[in-house]
């Protein structure tokens, strides 16, 4: 499937080669990652890895995009359901519901301006988490939530990139045979929160 339509978003296109996608209901996506797929620009100078492909749209305004993210068990290290921002191979970011080397699901964010800045955030004690990406002017913000109402600040950042970006969804399986990630309760707003740290 080269193009996917899911309300309330514009038509979604792949940033790279199409990956496994299903739409079990009109408002949900299931993305299946192949083994060894990831995005990373090694901060220590190792080879870049961009085998994963995100399914996204190119925004033309300030916005917030959120979704409830689940990953099917059994899980392997670094597998994740992801909200992704893609400019080019040197400029991208991702907000992940990831499985840690310690066997704990958690929120992880990665911001890449040539090299990746990887930061672990909140541990998650449920089988899902809500993730949100916001663009406000030249800046971006990441948030997570247990209920989709009260939002916890993860980080703000800029991408050193002047071209168009794609924003959307991705599944990654760097160490395992696959990762099946479900995105539902997808919401889009053209009015981002005015305060990134007050829980709104």
- Within-domain flag for 171: yes
Find out whether 12 and 19 touch, Cβ atoms under 8 Å: no
- Within-domain flag for 199: no
- Within-domain flag for 198: no
In whole angstroms, give the CA distance from residue 119 to residue 125.
19
Domain extent at residue 155: 3-189
Model pTM?
0.97
DSSP string, 144-187: EESSSSS-EEEEEE--S--S--EEEEEEEBSSSSEEEEEEEEEE
Per the structure, how many domains does the chain have?
1
- Within-domain flag for 145: yes
Q: Which residues contact 66 (CB under 8 A, 6 or more apart)?
A: 130, 131, 132, 133, 145, 148, 185, 186, 187
- Within-domain flag for 196: no
Q: Which pLDDT does position 1 carry in this prediction?
A: 63
pLDDT in tens, the chain (200 residues): 678 999 889 999 999 989 999 999 989 999 999 999 999 999 999 999 999 999 999 999 999 999 999 999 999 999 999 999 999 999 999 999 999 999 999 999 999 999 999 999 999 999 999 999 999 999 999 999 999 999 999 999 999 999 999 999 999 999 999 999 999 999 999 999 999 999 99
- Within-domain flag for 103: yes
- Within-domain flag for 163: yes
Task: Specify the CATH number for the domain of residue 55.
Answer: 2.60.120.200
- Within-domain flag for 47: yes
């Amino acid at each position: 499937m080269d193009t996917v339509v899911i309300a309330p978003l514009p038509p979604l296109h792949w940033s790279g080669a199409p990956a496994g996608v299903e739409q079990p209901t009109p408002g949900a996506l299931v993305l299946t990652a192949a083994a060894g797929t990831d995005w990373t620009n090694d901060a220590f100078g190792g080879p870049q890895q961009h085998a994963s492909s995100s399914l996204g749209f190119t925004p033309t305004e300030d916005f917030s995009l959120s979704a409830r993210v689940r990953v099917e068990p059994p899980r392997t290290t670094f597998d994740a359901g992801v909200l992704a921002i893609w400019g080019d191979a040197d400029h991208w970011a991702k907000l992940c519901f990831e499985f840690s080397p310690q066997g704990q699901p958690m929120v992880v964010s990665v911001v890449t301006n040539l090299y990746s800045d990887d930061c672990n955030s909140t541990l998650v004690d449920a089988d899902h988490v809500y993730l949100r990406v916001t663009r406000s002017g030249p800046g971006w913000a990441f948030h997570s939530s247990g209920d989709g109402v009260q939002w916890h600040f993860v980080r703000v950042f800029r991408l050193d990139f002047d071209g168009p970006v794609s924003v959307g969804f991705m599944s990654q399986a760097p160490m395992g045979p696959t990762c099946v990630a479900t995105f539902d309760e997808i919401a889009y707003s053209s009015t981002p929160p005015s305060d990134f740290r007050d829980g709104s």
